[in-house]
Structure 1
């Protein structure tokens, strides 16, 4: 699975980290791959960036995963070298498929990839390598413009490279039930995407924002907080959808 949105600040990394952890807590074996050069997902599960075996190397060969302190959750950390990968692979005839060739980890129930906030070569590789996509979307109107561009990219990928790619769901983040704007954006998105929108909404929550500074996912740092409970609900909803689609 890929957690994708070219717009920054929508809760993409928070979603990748907390959904991965929540699924692992439910007994699923999960591999989190941090493919954002900023490496925030790596920090979020308590690992060091630029380790010997990292996601930059994954563009060239299968690499060894790192254990996290969360049972059932492993991670391939980020590397600052990812920032230059597009230049390095510029003349490679299979540059759009490098990840697909290396991601071979059949022992996991789920592989979740955190993507950078761009639609460049890394994101294209992620879309070509994944089966499903989760799109976090902040409850503001600028997000509606961004998601239209993302949908065009997904359609192009499906048409030209990865015909099996599907959208697992659109996740509304930073949702405030008291805010009319949040409700308006939710209504617009639901009207257009219908059942693709997750029932679970992730609220604005300071504990989710604090957690990475302690090297912990929010669902572990503050399990009783509204944000943590929402991600636990999301994991349950995701697993229920998966079961229905089998």
Structure 2
């Protein structure tokens, strides 16, 4: 695109320039020209090495990078790595003419070799000749650093639309992990206590009421808050396993949770020593939920084949983008899926910039039947539906076998017949 087109198109979305290893005089000239003539461009940061630049781009977005040729150790590999970031244009700067005699392998049009003494006006025109690259979100992601078995996790099960089955998923994930002898705490942050209702907890269980009451006091001690939380936990028994549940308080108290109170409450919950803390919550974009999204090590986004449910996730995606948790694991789960609908999952993945991690079939009547009788699905080990909840649980802690996940073993045949 030309400079004129870029100026018009980028009035709302600014273009960010990064620099690495540039000569001070060239850097100053480039910055001065940009400030004076290209007000839609931010000449942002300077780096002393490619390692620093790549580390920055792993978590931040930028369109253009100017890098001195001396910074490259393996030009072919390093420019390829940079092309996989948010960068739309890589400008390699050289103060010598020798590289032009033996032109290196460039990934054109992404990469361009530029002579340092070329007039800055021409350089800026050339740097703007790129197609806007879609800001790819690292949404469906699992980082090796956070996928180690036994690492403590805080998992938020969230949907931007109610009625998609996130509470059922949260309960069953908690149960499946508890069956693997994980110490699990299921916390109900929903306004109207969905978990307590689904599990038919005794009415004597007051949940977080006293703990939130402590938060409302002007002078309080952390030990007091933790004490009330511990006293409020209800322990369920099923198939010889234990699942701890921290129920919600009254709707009035739950709606009183602002950013600061939720942060403090969740920090105390995380200090209780559980292997996994599963958080269920309401579907609004309240301060409470912003706090939960920010604190979670893992977010499981739940949607259905309902277009409204899927499109409503976009606002949440934009919000979580701003929270800057680069090591947070995020996954998309499609619930209540019916094969006969022919719903185009690949199109949904494209719209949300997320891969679908687990597809749970539509078994609403079956789930409701067990729930109405007070029977946990996890108490029915042969129930086929459980494998899908184990698949979702496996995203959090990879402790399930292929058989438990419903993966079929491949059969290998020897030449001449017979199975290997």
Alignment of 1:67-78 (within 5 A): 67-70=235-238, 71-78=241-248
Where does structure 2 lack aligned partners over 5 or more consecutive residues?
Answer: 1-154, 216-224, 401-420
Q: Does 1:83 find its partner at 2:252? A: yes
Partner of 2:202, secondary structure, is coil
Alignment of 1:14-93 (within 5 A): 14-48=168-202, 51-52=205-206, 54-59=207-212, 60=215, 61-62=225-226, 63-64=229-230, 65-70=233-238, 71-80=241-250, 82-86=251-255, 88=256
Cα separation, 1, equivalents of 2:329 and 2:353: 12
CA spacing shift, 1:34–1:231, aligned 2, 3 Å: same
**Partner residue of 1:123?**
289
CA contact (8 A) 1:6 1:118 kept: yes
Partner of 2:302, secondary structure, is strand
TM-score normalized with structure 1 length: 0.80
- 1:216 aligned residue (349, 359, 375): 375
CA contact (8 A) 1:3 1:114 kept: yes
Q: Does 1:178 find its partner at 2:178? A: no
Q: Does 1:240 find its partner at 2:398? A: yes
Where does structure 1 lack aligned partners over 5 or more consecutive residues?
Answer: none
CA spacing shift, 1:85–1:22, aligned 2, 3 Å: closer
In terms of Rg, which structure is larger?
2
**How many Å apart are 1:11 and its aligned residue?**
1.1
Cα separation, 2, equivalents of 1:89 and 1:21: 27
CA contact (8 A) 1:46 1:68 kept: no
- 2:280 aligned residue (110, 114, 125): 114
CA contact (8 A) 2:248 2:254 kept: no
**How many Å apart are 1:119 and its aligned residue?**
1.4
Q: Deviations over 1:136-191 (max 9, x none)?
A: 111222122111011122123x14xxx3672431101001122212xx1x112333
CA spacing shift, 1:170–1:178, aligned 2, 3 Å: same
CA contact (8 A) 2:160 2:309 kept: no
Partner of 2:186, secondary structure, is strand
Report which structure shows greater RCO (CA 8 Å, sep ≥6).
Answer: 1
CA spacing shift, 1:207–1:27, aligned 2, 3 Å: same
TM-score normalized with structure 2 length: 0.49
CA contact (8 A) 1:43 1:49 kept: no
Q: Which moved more, 1:94-103 or 1:111-120?
A: 94-103
Cα separation, 2, equivalents of 1:240 and 1:50: 36
Cα-Cα RMSD: 2.7
CA spacing shift, 1:66–1:165, aligned 2, 3 Å: farther
**How many Å apart are 1:238 and its aligned residue?**
3.9
Partner of 2:284, secondary structure, is coil
Which structure dedicates a bigger proportion of its chain to strand?
A: 2
Q: Does 1:148 find its partner at 2:314? A: yes
CA contact (8 A) 1:172 1:201 kept: yes
Which structure dedicates a bigger proportion of its chain to helix?
A: 1
CA contact (8 A) 2:335 2:361 kept: yes
Partner of 1:78, secondary structure, is coil
CA contact (8 A) 2:185 2:243 kept: yes
Cα separation, 2, equivalents of 1:154 and 1:148: 10
Q: Which moved more, 1:38-47 or 1:167-176?
A: 38-47
